[in-house]
Structure 1
Amino acid sequence: MSHRTSHLPKPRNAVHAFIRELRYHESSRQLLALAYILVLAIFAEPGGLPALYAVGFAIAGLGMLIRLWASGHVKKNQELATDGPYAYVRHPLYVGNILMLAGFCIASQLWWSIPVMLAFLWFYYPTAIDYEDLKLSRLFGERWKKWAENTHALMPRFRGRDFKFGGWSFRQSLMGNGEPLILVYAIYCAWHLVAL
């Protein structure tokens, strides 16, 4: 059992244990999402509709910018990030991931891409959000609780909040998440998709 599932009841059998460990495994979630973007870029419909390319890449680009913004604020397990995008949503990196995946699905113009994406999101994100919320609650106690009561997990809340870009750090974004490298990867996948 990993540290991410040690707080859960004992699994019913080996298959249940394997599926649960996979759902909570952060690296597999991230690597599969990046691999899925590459699959969409490789198998995209050649000569697709330009309007769908534009809409898809606009959504994916917004997701990437949100990820880049969020990764420059978060200091995992050290400080509770409540500025920048964390002032509006508890899990902006996940919001960015969802938008990136949705954007590439639209741009690929593959009929099966959206159902596969939805299955991926259903499989990984509820457990990821539960785990992160529980961990942050343990680490930051009352401060987290107060912030979480006024900040939704994935749907941004703008009312009553002043826009603050916050203390973003390129170094933090690069070292903490490797985000600029992911941006380069996403741009390459987008180029490959359009170059078909």
Structure 2
Amino acid sequence: MPATSASSDFFAALGVRIFHRRLHVGLTAVLLAALVYRPRDFFGTHATAGTIVSFALVLAGLALRAWAAGCAGGHTRRATIEAPRLATGGPFAHVRNPIYLASVILGVGMVGLLADPWMLALCVAVFVFLYTAIVPAEERFLCGQFGDAYARYCAHVPRLLPRLRPWTEAEQRPCDRTAILGEARLALLLIAIYIGLRAAAWLRGHWFGF
């Protein structure tokens, strides 16, 4: 069962307030990135290997997000915290927040492809801001919604660092293909962001000299 304290109460309340604005936070970060992004010699003599690993991380993050979204259902993309059922199967049998873990993996991969350490700093700041608030808010909701069942799940499955073997009591359900398609749209958005940031860096360099 997630711990309850004054700090966790604060972050849970903050998470409820920003949950429906999480997309706005991400878009704001992209706009900030467009102002400062500049490709650099990020990997040195290992540029090719670094790019390959970064691309693999992006694919792995997208695949994990799609798997998790399919197991959880379409409510994961809505503006409010919802859970018609407690998802414990698929990646949820290894880690309680596979979508957020996948987003971190994906974000690290994007930073590698963009090849700018300032993007890593921005990425870390956004993830810390969002997940230190949203995760406690979701845990508080799930605790109230599912009670002892959620407490037992928390006792056996870690929050963000996955266990190697799946939880034996996990409930397996068919994947929601509609939710998986939503992650395909995310892939297109990432391509647009990558092209947009590269274009912004080129325009700043040629028009404004920085």
- TM tier, smaller: 0.7 to 0.9
- State the alpha-carbon separation in 2 of the partners of residues 160 and 86 from structure 1: 8
1:72-91 correspondence to structure 2 within 5 Å: 72-75=70-73, 76-91=82-97
- State the alpha-carbon separation in 2 of the partners of residues 133 and 151 from structure 1: 13
Q: Cα RMSD between the aligned structures?
A: 3.3
- What is the aligned partner in structure 2 of residue 180 from structure 1? 184
Higher helix fraction (1 or 2): 2
- What is the aligned partner in structure 2 of residue 45 from structure 1? 39
1:116-127 correspondence to structure 2 within 5 Å: 116-127=122-133
Gaps in structure 1 of 5+ consecutive residues: 1-6, 10-19
Determine if contact 2:97/2:159 at 8 Å carries over to the other structure. yes
Identity %: 24
1:132-143 correspondence to structure 2 within 5 Å: 132-143=138-149
Q: Compared with structure 1, are the counterparts of its residues 22 and 128 closer, same or farther at alpha carbon in structure 2 (3 Å cutoff)?
A: closer
Q: Higher RCO, 1 or 2 (CA under 8 Å, sep at least 6)? A: 2
Describe the SS at the equivalent of 1:186: helix
Determine if contact 1:85/1:92 at 8 Å carries over to the other structure. yes
1:35-184 correspondence to structure 2 within 5 Å: 36=29, 43=37, 45=39, 49-75=47-73, 76-159=82-165, 161=167, 167-174=174-181, 178-184=182-188
Q: Compared with structure 1, are the counterparts of its residues 86 and 121 closer, same or farther at alpha carbon in structure 2 (3 Å cutoff)?
A: same
Q: Compared with structure 1, are the counterparts of its residues 107 and 60 closer, same or farther at alpha carbon in structure 2 (3 Å cutoff)?
A: same
Determine if contact 1:84/1:167 at 8 Å carries over to the other structure. no
* TM-score, normalised via structure 1 length: 0.73
- Matching of residue 29 in structure 1 with residue 36 in structure 2: no
Q: Deviations over 1:147-174 (max 9, x none)?
A: 1111111111123657998521212434
Q: Compared with structure 1, are the counterparts of its residues 24 and 93 closer, same or farther at alpha carbon in structure 2 (3 Å cutoff)?
A: farther
Determine if contact 1:85/1:165 at 8 Å carries over to the other structure. no
Determine if contact 1:151/1:157 at 8 Å carries over to the other structure. yes
* TM-score, normalised via structure 2 length: 0.69
- State the alpha-carbon separation in 2 of the partners of residues 93 and 99 from structure 1: 10
Q: Compared with structure 1, are the counterparts of its residues 112 and 47 closer, same or farther at alpha carbon in structure 2 (3 Å cutoff)?
A: closer
Describe the SS at the equivalent of 2:133: helix
Q: Larger C-alpha radius of gyration, 1 or 2? A: 2
2:64 maps to amino acid: I
- State the alpha-carbon separation in 1 of the partners of residues 158 and 15 from structure 2: 25
Determine if contact 2:15/2:135 at 8 Å carries over to the other structure. no
- State the alpha-carbon separation in 2 of the partners of residues 154 and 179 from structure 1: 20
Describe the SS at the equivalent of 2:21: helix
